[in-house]
């Protein structure tokens, strides 16, 4: 038996992260990656959730290099049989904002730029009160924080558990369609994936409306793929 929770996130501030960079426009797709959610929900390197990582990759205030450590950080989730799905927008609005660097001097003279890099740009952000939905699949009960922070601006958002259900894995492998976003890396090793729409975003593009074959959990009127795990390489 596993417990599946349907959760909602309501934004209380503008949400920004760069899904796409088009010249000086940085665009935020109204989809939250499941890697990002794991960090935002405070599940990475947590004593309470049994997801500690080695000291060397520990989650610290100071990051000596800008290299993500998804594999090191997320593999412990598998031993805890804990999985977070990507979140889709139930309703959202987008806003455009211009950003630029602040300068501390009293007097600024415009100089020719030395480097070919922008000091201002426009960011397409998701507006407050937009609503997202995702699923938490876990073996053990776990307490989710009520307030989390998302994206580059660390925007405040509220997390609500809408309903939860204890479910069993289906007895047989079957063909079914999952309409919401999935991380392809996490399902393709256990399921056959026939067709899907791609949602382009780094580091792993997501898929939606996937037609797949494999075991599933019956949750409300949905069939959610069973045995999803954070996978980074075939083994």
Partner 1 sequence: MSLLHSLTADQHKQFFHDEIPYKPMGKYVHFLTVRVTESYPLFQTDGELNKARVRAGIKPANAAPISRLTMFKRKQSTPERLVGRELLRSYDLLTAKECEYNVEFGKNNPDCIIYGFAIGDAGSEKSKVVVDTAFSIMPFDISHETFTLNAPYENGTMASKGEGDSEVGKVTSRINSQDHILPQVFFPSIVTLKDPTEATFLYVFNNLLRTRHYGAQTTRTGKVRNQLVGVIFADGEILSNLRWTQAIYDHLQEQGKLTTVDPLDEDEVMSSAQLTLDELLSEGYVVSTNFLGESFKPLLQEVKALINDATSMKQLLEQADQEAKAYAGKHIKKPEAKAEKTTSNKPGRGK
Angstrom distance (rounded) from CA 52 to CA 118? 39
How buried is 85 (Cβ within 10 angstroms: 0-12 exposed, 13-18 middle, 19+ buried)?
Answer: buried
Angstrom distance (rounded) from CA 75 to CA 72? 6
Residue 91 or 174: the one with the smaller Cβ distance to partner 1 is 91
Which residues make Cβ contacts (< 8 Å) with residue 116, sequence separation at least 6? none
Angstrom distance (rounded) from CA 55 to CA 69? 13
- What mask, x for binding partner 1 by CB under 8 A, covers residues 172 to 201? ------------------------------
Segment (H or E) for 77: helix 70-79
Question: Can you tell me which of 23, 54, 101, 203 binds partner 1, judged by CB under 8 A?
Answer: 101
Binding to partner 1 (CB under 8 A): which residues in 122-161?
123, 127-129, 143, 145-149, 152-156, 158
Shortest spacing between CB 36 and partner 1, in angstroms? 14
- What mask, x for binding partner 1 by CB under 8 A, covers residues 34 to 63? ------------------------xxxxxx
Q: In terms of Cα–Cα distance, which of 55, 153, 140 is closest to 95?
A: 153
- What mask, x for binding partner 1 by CB under 8 A, covers residues 1 to 30? -----------xxx-x-x--x----x----
Show the tokens assigned to 178: 């999952």
Point out which residues bind partner 1 (CB under 8 A): 12-14, 16, 18, 21, 26, 58-66, 93, 95-104, 117-119, 121, 123, 127-129, 143, 145-149, 152-156, 158
């Amino acid at each position: 038996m596993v417990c599946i929770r349907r959760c909602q996130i309501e934004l209380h501030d503008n949400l920004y992260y760069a899904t796409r960079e088009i010249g000086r426009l940085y665009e935020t797709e109204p989809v939250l990656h499941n890697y990002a959610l794991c960090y935002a929900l405070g599940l990475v390197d947590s004593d309470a959730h049994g997801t500690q990582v080695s000291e060397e990759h520990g989650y610290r205030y100071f990051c000596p290099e800008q290299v993500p450590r998804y594999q090191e950080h997320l593999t412990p989730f598998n031993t805890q049989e804990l999985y977070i799905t990507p979140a889709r927008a139930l309703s959202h609005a987008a806003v455009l904002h211009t950003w630029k660097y602040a300068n501390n001097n009293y007097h600024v003279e415009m100089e020719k730029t030395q480097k070919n890099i922008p000091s201002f740009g426009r960011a397409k952000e998701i507006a407050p009160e937009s609503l997202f939905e995702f699923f938490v699949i876990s073996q053990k009960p776990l307490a989710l924080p009520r307030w989390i922070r998302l994206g580059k601006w660390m925007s405040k958002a509220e997390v609500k558990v809408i309903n939860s259900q204890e479910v069993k894995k289906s007895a047989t492998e079957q063909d079914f369609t999952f309409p919401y976003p999935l991380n392809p890396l996490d399902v393709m090793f256990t399921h056959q994936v026939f067709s899907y729409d791609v949602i382009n975003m780094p580091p792993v593009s997501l898929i939606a409306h996937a037609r797949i074959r494999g075991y599933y959990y019956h949750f409300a009127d949905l069939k959610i793929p069973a045995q999803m795990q954070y996978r980074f390489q075939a083994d």
